[in-house]
Amino acid sequence: MFTTVRVDETAVVAPDGGTVRTIASGSFLSPEHSTSGAALLQAPDGTVTLRLADLRTSHGPALRVWLSDQPVEPRSGSQSRRRQVSHVGRSEPERDRTLCRPGP
C-alpha cells in the first residue's frame, strides 16, 4: 500500500516585503525508512519558522521529526546520541523516527 500526499503551502514571506533568510539547514536520517529532503530554519521577522522542503519518505506507520544540534549516528532513533534535541512533530503510532542532522 502506498500513500502519496502532496502539500503546497505558501512560502514564508517577511511582513515588510524584505527577504527571508535561512539561519540553519540540515538533512534527514532515518534508520527505519528511506527519507530525503531538507529542513530549513528561516527567520522572516525575528521569529523562526521550520520549513521542510522536498520531504520524501517511504511508507510507514508513523513519522516523527526531531531537530538536533549534534551529528546523528545511523542507529535506531531511540539509541541515537544527541544533545539539544527538539521534537517538532509526529504521527501515530509512535514507532518510526526521522532525525534532522545539522548541515555543513
Beta-carbon contacts of 42 under 8 Å, excluding residues fewer than 6 positions away, are 12, 20, 21, 22, 23, 48, 49, 51
pLDDT at 33: 73
pLDDT at 56: 80
pLDDT digits (tens, 9 = 90+) for 33-85: 777 777 777 776 777 777 777 878 777 666 777 777 777 666 554 444 444 55
pLDDT at 97: 46
Do 36 and 54 contact (CB within 8 A), yes or no? Answer: yes
Domain residue extents for the chain: 21-102
Q: Shortest CA distance to 52 belongs to which of 71, 62, 65?
A: 65
Beta-carbon contacts of 13 under 8 Å, excluding residues fewer than 6 positions away, are 20, 44
pLDDT at 22: 79
pLDDT at 91: 44
